Amino acid sequence: MSVGPVEYIAIGFPGNKFSGDIIPAIQKLQEAGTIRVLDLVIISKDREGKVTAVELSDASPEQAALFAVLGIESKHLLGRDDIEDIGGALDPNTTAGLMIWENVWAAKFAASLRAADGILIANGRIPAPLIEEALAQPVG
């Protein structure tokens, strides 16, 4: 099985205001074959600093229904250390969604690189506001 590049993201929601409004956008990316969500954990830190985490297998019926549209077959790729790292970084009264996904769109490209004995030398992200600013500048 060829797997595309796998990434993770942690998105915080101050005030513990995670509502699930981002789920439809994730669902559209999956339906388009762009990504495949491999695991997802909801991490919360209360006002006193206590961190709790809800994995999909432990979700309440309401939470499970919210995430069911994503069809995640959790392989428990996110572990206790990941949860502790993100939970420790959260401000009090904040919830975070921690997600691992495969970039399905790049699986064939990644397989061709491996077949050609290519090795990854560098990888990174450039913040969108920097690119938007650069593209807005006149050329010349």
Residue 101: both structure tokens together: 């996904």
> CA angle 126-10-66, nearest 5°?
125
* pLDDT at residue 58, rounded to an integer: 79
Query: By CB neighbour count within 10 A (0-12 exposed, 13-18 middle, 19+ buried), where does 10 fall?
Result: middle
Cα 121 to chain center, whole Å? 23
Domain coordinates in residue numbering, the chain: 6-107
Q: What is the pLDDT tens value at each position of the chain, 140 positions in all?
A: 678 889 999 999 999 888 888 899 999 999 999 999 999 999 999 999 999 998 877 777 887 788 888 888 767 889 999 999 999 999 999 999 999 999 999 888 888 988 999 988 998 888 899 999 999 998 87
Distance from C-alpha of 75 to C-alpha of 135, rounded to nearest angstrom: 40
Distance from C-alpha of 56 to C-alpha of 45, rounded to nearest angstrom: 18
- Give the 3-state secondary structure of 10-37: EEEEECCCCCCCCHHHHHHHHHCCCCEE
Residue 73: both structure tokens together: 């077959």
The reply to whether the predicted model has a pTM over 0.75 is yes
* pLDDT at residue 62, rounded to an integer: 81
